Amino acid sequence: MDVKLRKSDTLHVIGELAAGIAHEIRNPMTALKGFIQLLEDNIEEDYSMYFNIITSELQRIDSIINEFLILAKPQAVKFIERDITQIMEETVKFLSAQAVLHNVQFQTYYEKDLPPIYCEQNQMKKVFINLIKNAIEVMPKGGFVTITMNSASDERIHISIQDEGCGIPKDKINKLGQPFYTTKERGTGLGLMVTYKIVEEHAGTIEVESELGVGTNFHIYLPLRKKERK
Ligand code: ADP
Ligand code: MG
């Protein structure tokens, strides 16, 4: 029988599978990390460089696993009315040290008294973290990340995260969100995939505006009420 999966079904299956594997890898990883830490105290200095490499590669596996685990079990996610400004403020605070390290300054414009958003708080934070991190990472010499939140209409909230980085070539825009698409030496190419997936689960949309050499602006639109998904 010729059974064809629609693209979204395929993504769903891949997501479930990836999350399952990620979960299985987590336990042996924990054991590895524990024993490597024990070894580290007893190792000769000559070998410390190897340890740094091992630790950094373990961290990399960890971040890949964490991205995939986010794709797991949407039914475990609870949507509650939340203050989106507060979620953004917490995220910005969380990333402030990283921003200072990269010579990046945040400019924030939050419309007053924005209505609450029906969302899963940690996932929403993850979206903001991924986009703001990308913004920081494309400005090696530093610059401004401008974050704006305002009501787009009676039904939607608009959030924009704008950088002054390299910009994205037009023919690469549709690659954003594809698993493992990265232009960074140490990138995972999973951040945007997770970001797009979470926003989609919140019945929201993402639009990308970008100009080479000028910067990129990611716009997120979120509905005030959770809509039934098609
Ligand atoms: P990673 O950050 O690990 O590369 P992402 O999924 O977060 O993975 O991003 C994928 C790719 O999209 C990046 O490698 C980069 O090429 C491009 N990209 C994402 N955000 C921006 C941005 N703000 N400016 C320019 N390019 C970006
Ligand atoms: Mg990223």
Residue whose tokens read 């403020």: 89
129 C-beta closer than 6 A to ligand 1 = no
- If you measure from the C-alpha of residue 35 to the centroid of ligand 1, how many angstroms do you get, rounded to a whole number? 34
- If you measure from the C-alpha of residue 54 to the centroid of ligand 1, how many angstroms do you get, rounded to a whole number? 25
Parallel/antiparallel/unpaired status of strands 117-119 and 80-82? antiparallel
- If you measure from the C-alpha of residue 50 to the centroid of ligand 1, how many angstroms do you get, rounded to a whole number? 29
Q: What residue type is 189 in one-letter code? A: G
Respond yes or no on whether ipTM tops 0.90.
yes
Q: Which atom of ligand 1 is nearest to the CA of 175?
A: 12
Per-residue pLDDT of the chain (230 residues; tens, 9 = 90+): 445 455 556 666 777 777 788 888 988 998 998 888 888 878 887 888 888 889 889 988 988 888 887 776 555 678 899 999 999 999 999 999 999 999 999 999 999 999 999 999 989 999 999 999 999 999 999 999 999 999 988 889 999 999 999 999 999 999 999 988 999 988 889 999 999 989 998 999 999 999 999 999 999 999 987 555 44
Q: In what order do the strands lie in the sheet with 143-151?
A: 104-110, 143-151, 156-162, 215-223, 205-211
pTM: 0.83
